[in-house]
């Protein structure tokens, strides 16, 4: 097994030094075009900076994945490196993208990603991230938009720790993600550890550190399966650099076997189907399912039995279409049987919670909402079971149960029942449409307040956006809870991916990278992504804007720029008042002023087109139209809007 | 920085509106006076000074820059606490003994050391300058489009 023999230098320093050396060497050997030379600015001390040479045509083609690996390969250290097989496994799993900030511990996998296969760098495509937290949050956003994992590569101990916050959020959000961490025991000691996955074990679902190429291939497949099996969550494989570089020889890629996710047994399916069909006014309460297929099945079941439904589509992805004729209170709100699909009901089918993974928290960190008795806030949170659910709970995944229930409904159906169901469905459709229009009329009346105000009301931002996207295939990837959540009342969330919901664990720095992840999903599906971006949130890792521009992603960012961490401002103001010491200093540490941040300029520095800051509400609509025109051409756009606080 | 999940609950709760004042344990009872849409009481403060105070004390954080947006708008349905300079000042002062330790539904207290009586009048003068005249829904093209879209048949 070959061993690395690199100098033990700091990773960032090493990369910076290498780049500087390369640039210096290139400056000597390469003709620097006049236009580039003219940009040279004197550095402090009077010495000119040496500009990096522009990329060659070959380099640009290589970056774009348009170069095939060299034929023959006799000069290569390994003819069939282990990492080629690892990438083949990712391909077989249908992984579309691998996001990473470059790291030496996975250079073998990275080289295979960009050079292996024909064409290389496609399915999966390497996505350049500027921070590991961004890479994993991209996977988080992608996972919520599609219901399947994206992959993120992490470099050693430092990459995992940079990514930790994002892993934590995806875990709380029960979102699948495939994480591969590189380990290089022969390089920088501080970047390696015996048990690297241990750093995030208490908030990942599964991990492995395989010892051979064969084990690595199986482990990647297993991690994928663990991630998509409820409770869905990130899973991690730590792969030594030596395994990536090692000659694989005749090792074969194992055939992939998808997981078997259990649903209700035939007896339970029979009972549920009978209850739905015998009820005079059945209802189906639909929470967050796992995949778009689950949503399709829920619609099928509701239509079969003529049940009115509730939806969580205004809170997050993978729920019942909001405008479906059966979605709403229905013609009669006295329900005699409610089937809960990941929601409370007379009978509730509820998949395993994150509490079932507590054995992965052996030191009892005890995360709130998952571990029992931790939070004073009450309830079990997203990760737990939820408190006070009436009726009977069947601890089994709802989505996996739907096919058997649908089969049973069909088997028990009679012409008489069908006739009743049709009549009931028609009544529900009329009542639900009336209820929807009534609710919308009230919502519009409320949201016209401050319509012409400057700074611009957040309601106007959402109201102006909706007519522009209503006929598009759209994803609202940013959480709207800090921006008034106006989409919930004004927009219709009919696709499983229309609204991706909150941050997972309420952590900041989520909106933009999650939107980039959603935009990766959107890119090949002719969809567009809307990112109503709070200003405090963007400043955690704004480099993700560069990723959007570099990969030409269809993402419209509309700043909800209230120039503060506004919630915290209110908290501190409140505390000042409680203590009676004056509120006039409540802005200290809670506001983003002196100077204000110019987000159009920020975007421009990453190469992204945009405009603003906009304070005149009349100018908002035209700006949004320009932004959407850009996004529909596949180019991201930034509009900085100065808004009311909420 | 981690953001607290209680945020929305708290925001929804911070209020000038008397109808939203929550009774803390053993404290003053909630007021129930109805809001009014027109105020005619005298205004003696300086609105220009009041604007600076409104910003400095971050009143806008809950009530919007124009009093008509945010967690607790008060324009045009003015709560009884804003009926007069006197009732407004009394309301600012009256918060001290009902502010619980936990984040709650109450707005901050403003003792005289923080906002003098004269400053309270200035803030009041600025608040009274707020005018809310949004167009009716039917005169806002975007809103008409939203309503029209909702009336279209559902397409799967």
pLDDT, one tens digit per residue, over A113-152 is: 999 999 999 999 999 999 999 999 999 999 999 999 999 9
The answer to whether position B156 is within a domain reads no
At the top level of CATH, the class of A448-642 is alpha beta
Paired tokens of A421: 């169901």
User: By mean pLDDT, which of A34-48, A230-244, A311-325, A351-365 is the weakest?
Assistant: A34-48
Render pLDDT for B34-88 as a digit per residue (tens, 0 to 9): 677 789 999 999 999 999 999 999 999 889 999 999 888 999 889 999 999 999 9
Cβ–Cβ < 8 Å for A617, A456: yes
Cβ–Cβ < 8 Å for A553, A523: yes
Render pLDDT for A51-72 as a digit per residue (tens, 0 to 9): 556 777 766 665 565 655 555 5
Counted domains in chain B: 1
Query: Chain A window 487-516: which residues touch B at a Cβ cutoff of 8 Å?
Result: 490, 492, 494, 505-508
Render pLDDT for A275-290 as a digit per residue (tens, 0 to 9): 999 999 999 999 999 9
The more confident residue out of B113 and A511 is A511
Query: Which CATH number applies to A266-360+383-438?
Result: 3.40.50.1220
Cα of A63 to nearest chain B Cα, Å = 36
Peptide bond into A548 cis (omega under 30): no
For residues A87-93, give the mean pLDDT: 98
A and B: number of Cβ contacts within 8 A: 181
What's the confidence (pLDDT) of residue A278?
Answer: 98
The pair phi, psi for residue A546, each rounded to 5°, is: -65, -40
* A39/A215 Cα distance (integer angstroms): 51
For residues A392-404, give the mean pLDDT: 97
Query: Chain A window 457-486: which residues touch B at a Cβ cutoff of 8 Å?
Result: 457-459, 463-464, 466-467, 470, 481-482
- Is the backbone of residue A124 left (phi > 0), alpha (psi -120 to 50) or beta? beta
Nearest residue of chain B to residue A587 (CA atoms): B58
* Domain chopping of chain A, boundaries: 1-54, 61-68+76-245, 266-360+383-438, 448-642
Fold of A61-68+76-245: Rossmann fold (3.40.50)
What's the confidence (pLDDT) of residue B19?
Answer: 30
Nearest residue of chain A to residue B7 (CA atoms): A567
Contacts of A574 in chain B (CB under 8 A): 10, 14, 103, 106-108
For residues A379-387, give the mean pLDDT: 43
Determine the distance from the C-alpha atom of residue A347 to the mean position of all C-alpha atoms in its chain, rounded to a whole number: 31
Q: Which helix (H) or strand (E) holds A624?
A: helix A620-632
Cα-based distances in Å from A67 to A401, A547, B10: 47, 21, 56
Query: Chain A window 276-315: which residues touch B at a Cβ cutoff of 8 Å?
Result: 299
Residue A389 has pLDDT above 90, yes or no: no
pTM of the predicted protein model: 0.87
* A341/A598 Cα distance (integer angstroms): 45
Render pLDDT for A177-209 as a digit per residue (tens, 0 to 9): 999 999 999 999 999 999 999 999 999 999 999
Percent of chain A at pLDDT above 90?
82
What's the confidence (pLDDT) of residue A390?
Answer: 67
Asked if the C-beta of A578 comes within 8 angstroms of chain B's C-beta atoms, the answer is yes
Query: Chain B window 98-117: which residues touch A at a Cβ cutoff of 8 Å?
Result: 99-101, 103, 106-111, 113-115
Residue A321 has pLDDT above 50, yes or no: yes
Residue A14 has pLDDT above 90, yes or no: no
What's the confidence (pLDDT) of residue A24?
Answer: 38
Q: What is the ipTM of this complex?
A: 0.84
Asked if the C-beta of B8 comes within 8 angstroms of chain A's C-beta atoms, the answer is yes
The answer to whether position B68 is within a domain reads yes
Name the percent of chain B in helix, strand, coil, to the closest 5: 40, 0, 55
Cα-based distances in Å from A202 to A186, A199, A370, A453: 27, 8, 11, 47
Residue A103 has pLDDT above 70, yes or no: yes
Task: Judge: B108–A455 Cβ closer than 8 Å, yes or no.
Answer: no
Which structural domain range is residue B72 located in?
Answer: 7-151
Cα–Cα nearest to A275, from A298, A300, A319, A307: A307
* Within this chain, domains A61-68+76-245 and A448-642 share the same CATH topology: yes
Task: Judge: B5–A377 Cβ closer than 8 Å, yes or no.
Answer: yes
* A134/B33 Cα distance (integer angstroms): 50
Question: What confidence tier does A85 reach under pLDDT thresholds 50, 70, 90?
Answer: very high
What's the confidence (pLDDT) of residue A49?
Answer: 43
> Would you tell me how many other CB atoms lie within 10 Å of the CB of residue A284?
26
The answer to whether position B55 is within a domain reads yes
What's the confidence (pLDDT) of residue A573?
Answer: 87
The answer to whether position B36 is within a domain reads yes
* A643/A558 Cα distance (integer angstroms): 11
Contacts of B55 in chain A (CB under 8 A): none
Task: Judge: B61–A566 Cβ closer than 8 Å, yes or no.
Answer: yes
Cα of B95 to nearest chain A Cα, Å = 8
* A401/A378 Cα distance (integer angstroms): 30
The answer to whether position B129 is within a domain reads yes
Query: How much is the mean pLDDT over chain A?
Result: 90
What's the confidence (pLDDT) of residue A571?
Answer: 87
Contacts of B101 in chain A (CB under 8 A): 578
Query: Chain B window 59-98: which residues touch A at a Cβ cutoff of 8 Å?
Result: 60-62, 64-66, 68-71, 73, 75, 95-96
User: By mean pLDDT, which of A148-157, A539-548, A572-581, B24-33 is the weakest?
Assistant: B24-33
Cα of B150 to nearest chain A Cα, Å = 7
Asked if the C-beta of B143 comes within 8 angstroms of chain A's C-beta atoms, the answer is yes
What's the confidence (pLDDT) of residue A43?
Answer: 32
Contacts of B60 in chain A (CB under 8 A): 644-645
The answer to whether position B1 is within a domain reads no
Q: C-alpha angle A405/A408/A414, rounded to 5°?
A: 130
What's the confidence (pLDDT) of residue A387?
Answer: 42
What's the confidence (pLDDT) of residue A580?
Answer: 80
Render pLDDT for B98-151 as a digit per residue (tens, 0 to 9): 555 555 556 788 888 889 999 999 999 999 999 888 999 999 999 999 999 999
Contacts of A325 in chain B (CB under 8 A): 154
Residue B152 has pLDDT above 60, yes or no: yes
């Amino acid at each position: 097994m070959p061993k690395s023999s690199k100098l033990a230098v700091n990773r960032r320093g090493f990369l910076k030094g290498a780049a500087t050396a390369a640039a210096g060497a290139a400056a000597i050997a390469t003709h620097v075009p006049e236009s580039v030379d003219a940009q040279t600015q004197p550095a402090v001390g009077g010495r000119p900076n040496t500009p990096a040479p522009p990329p060659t045509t070959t380099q640009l083609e290589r970056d774009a994945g348009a170069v095939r690996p060299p034929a023959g390969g006799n000069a290569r250290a390994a003819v069939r490196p282990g990492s080629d097989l690892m990438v083949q496994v990712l391909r077989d799993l249908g992984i579309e993208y691998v996001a990473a900030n470059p790291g030496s511990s996975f250079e073998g996998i990275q080289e295979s990603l960009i050079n292996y296969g024909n064409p290389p760098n496609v399915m999966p495509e390497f996505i350049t991230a500027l921070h590991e937290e961004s890479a994993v949050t991209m996977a988080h956003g992608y996972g919520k938009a599609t219901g399947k994992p994206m992959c993120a590569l992490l470099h050693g101990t430092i990459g995992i720790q940079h990514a930790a916050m994002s892993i934590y959020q995806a875990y709380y959000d029960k979102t699948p993600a495939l994480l591969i961490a590189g380990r290089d025991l022969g390089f920088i000691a501080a970047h390696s550890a015996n048990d690297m996955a241990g750093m995030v074990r208490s908030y990942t679902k599964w991990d492995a550190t395989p010892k051979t190429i064969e084990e690595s291939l199986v482990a990647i497949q297993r991690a994928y399966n663990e991630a998509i099996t409820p409770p869905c969550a990130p899973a991690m494989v730590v792969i030594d650099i030596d395994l990536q570089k090692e000659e694989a020889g005749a090792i074969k890629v194992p055939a992939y076997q998808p997981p078997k996710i259990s649903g209700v047994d035939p007896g339970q399916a029979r009972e549920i189907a009978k209850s739905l069909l015998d009820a005079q006014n059945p209802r189906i309460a639909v929470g967050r399912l796992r995949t778009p297929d689950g949503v399709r099945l829920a619609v099928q079941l509701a239509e079969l039995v003529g049940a009115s439904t509730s939806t969580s589509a205004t809170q997050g992805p993978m729920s019942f279409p909001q405008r479906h004729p059966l979605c709403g209170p229905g013609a009669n709100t006295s329900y005699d049987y409610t089937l809960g699909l990941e929601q409370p009901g007379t009978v509730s089918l509820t998949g395993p919670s994150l509490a079932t993974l507590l054995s992965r928290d052996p030191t009892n960190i005890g995360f709130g909402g998952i571990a029992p008795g931790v939070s004073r806030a009450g309830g079990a949170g997203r990760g737990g079971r939820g408190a006070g659910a009436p009726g009977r709970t069947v601890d089994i995944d709802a989505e996996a149960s739907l096919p058997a229930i649908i089969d049973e409904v069909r088997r028990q159906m009679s012409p008489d029942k069908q006739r009743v169901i049709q009549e009931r469905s028609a009544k529900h459709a009329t009542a639900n449409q009336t209820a929807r229009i009534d609710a919308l009329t009230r919502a519009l009346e409320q949201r016209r307040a401050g319509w012409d105000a400057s700074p611009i009301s957040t309601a106007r931002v959402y109201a102006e956006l909706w007519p522009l996207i209503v006929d598009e295939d759209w994803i609202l990837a940013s959480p709207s809870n800090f921006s008034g959540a106006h989409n919930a009342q004004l927009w219709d969330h009919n696709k499983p991916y229309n609204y991706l919901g909150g941050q997972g664990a309420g952590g900041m720095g989520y909106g933009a990278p999650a939107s980039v992840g959603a935009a990766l999903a959107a890119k090949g599906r002719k969809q567009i992504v809307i990112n109503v971006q709070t200003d405090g949130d963007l400043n955690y890792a704004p480099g993700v804007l560069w990723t959007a521009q570099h990969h030409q992603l269809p993402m419209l960012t509309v700043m909800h720029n209230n120039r503060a961490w506004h919630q915290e401002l209110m908290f501190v103001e409140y505390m000042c008042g409680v203590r009676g010491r004056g509120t006039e200093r409540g802005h200290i540490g809670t506001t983003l002023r002196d100077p204000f941040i110019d987000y159009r300029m920020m975007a421009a520095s990453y190469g992204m087109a945009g405009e603003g800051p906009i304070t005149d509400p009349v100018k908002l609509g035209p700006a949004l139209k320009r932004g959407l025109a850009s996004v529909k051409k596949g180019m991201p756009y930034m509009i900085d809007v100065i808004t009311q606080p909420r | 920085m981690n953001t607290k999940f209680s945020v929305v609950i708290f925001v929804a709760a911070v209020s000038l509106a008397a109808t939203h004042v929550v009774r803390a344990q053993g404290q003053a009872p909630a007021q129930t006076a109805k809001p009014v849409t027109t105020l005619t009481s005298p205004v003696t403060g300086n609105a220009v000074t009041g604007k600076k105070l409104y910003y400095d004390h971050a009143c806008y954080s809950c009530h919007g820059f124009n009093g008509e947006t945010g967690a607790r708008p008060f324009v045009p349905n003015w709560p009884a606490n804003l009926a007069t300079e006197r009732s407004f000042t009394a309301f600012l002062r009256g918060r001290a003994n009902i502010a619980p330790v936990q984040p709650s539904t109450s707005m901050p207290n403003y003792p005289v050391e923080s906002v003098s009586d004269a400053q309270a009048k200035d803030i009041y003068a600025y608040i009274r300058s707020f005018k809310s005249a949004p167009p009716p829904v039917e005169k806002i093209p975007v809103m008409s489009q939203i309503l029209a879209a909702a009336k279209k048949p559902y397409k799967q």
